[in-house]
């Protein structure tokens, strides 16, 4: 049986948590306004994805006609509306400029890049080629984030569109490269849509393992 949680993964998560706390402290010292905004914005982003999840659960075909799932759908719509309303109000304040928004987006993405490097180095249950790929992508992500942070020093004029496009693209690259690495533990290919769905179970509260017959088993962690 191949279990999802092992000592290497726990060690990697501990390192990532340490880096997160360290860089969040530095973020507070260097980017005071962005740090204050992050206390509101980052939970709002979580609210947005919570809304998406509720809409998906409420829209499943097998759940149609169930009043409970209609409530989930409406809760999802409400969550997304609140996210858009509060975020729009926040970024419309005169003290907030485009560089503040870039800095807000760069910090969590930098942590994603660090996580890719740490897991690529420490966790050897994944295929070597995907570990190397994630290390390269992680380093690239960190470099792009530092360039975004240093934008006022490196560029003349407003390059907001450039940074948002590059950061959005690297987010997608990280999602697919991380999915490929996680799935490689179980000998699965990301090219199959059904396998890609398993990636979202892996990063949520599910334990994924392979039984003696080679079947993929999902257990929800209570």
For the stretch 27-76, pLDDT in tens is 999 999 999 999 888 888 888 888 887 777 666 655 555 666 677 778 88
CA dist 100 and 95 (Å) reads: 9
pLDDT of residue 5: 58
> Would you tell me how many other CB atoms lie within 10 Å of the CB of residue 100?
17
**Cα 95–99–102 angle (5° rounding)?**
120
Supply φ then ψ for residue 125, to 5 degrees: -80, -15
Spatial neighbors of 189 by CB under 8 A, at least 6 apart, are: 183, 195
Judge whether residue 192 has pLDDT over 50: yes
- Contact criterion met (CB below 8 Å) for 216 and 207: no
pLDDT digits (tens, 9 = 90+) for 148-183: 999 989 888 889 999 999 999 999 999 999 999 998
Greater pLDDT, 114 or 71? 114
């Amino acid at each position: 049986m191949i279990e999802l949680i092992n000592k290497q993964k726990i060690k990697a998560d501990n390192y990532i948590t340490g880096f997160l706390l360290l860089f969040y402290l530095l973020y507070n010292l260097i980017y005071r306004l962005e740090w204050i905004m992050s206390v509101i914005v980052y939970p709002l982003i979580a609210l947005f994805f919570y809304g998406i999840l509720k809409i998906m659960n409420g829209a499943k075909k097998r759940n149609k006609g169930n009043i409970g799932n209609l409530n989930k759908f409406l809760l999802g719509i409400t969550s997304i509306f609140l996210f858009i309303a509060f975020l729009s109000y926040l970024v419309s304040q005169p003290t907030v400029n485009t560089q503040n928004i870039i800095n807000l987006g760069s910090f969590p993405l930098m942590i994603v890049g660090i996580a890719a490097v740490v897991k690529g180095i420490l966790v050897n249950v994944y295929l070597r080629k995907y570990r190397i790929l994630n290390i390269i992508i992680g380093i690239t992500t960190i470099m792009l984030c530092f360039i975004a942070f240093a934008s006022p020093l490196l560029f003349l004029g407003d390059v907001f569109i450039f940074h948002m496009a590059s950061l959005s693209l690297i987010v997608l690259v990280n999602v697919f490269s991380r999915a490929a690495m996680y799935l490689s533990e179980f000998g699965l290919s990301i090219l199959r849509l059904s396998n890609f769905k398993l990636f979202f179970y892996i990063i949520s509260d599910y334990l994924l393992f392979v039984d003696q017959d080679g079947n993929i088993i999902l257990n929800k962690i209570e």
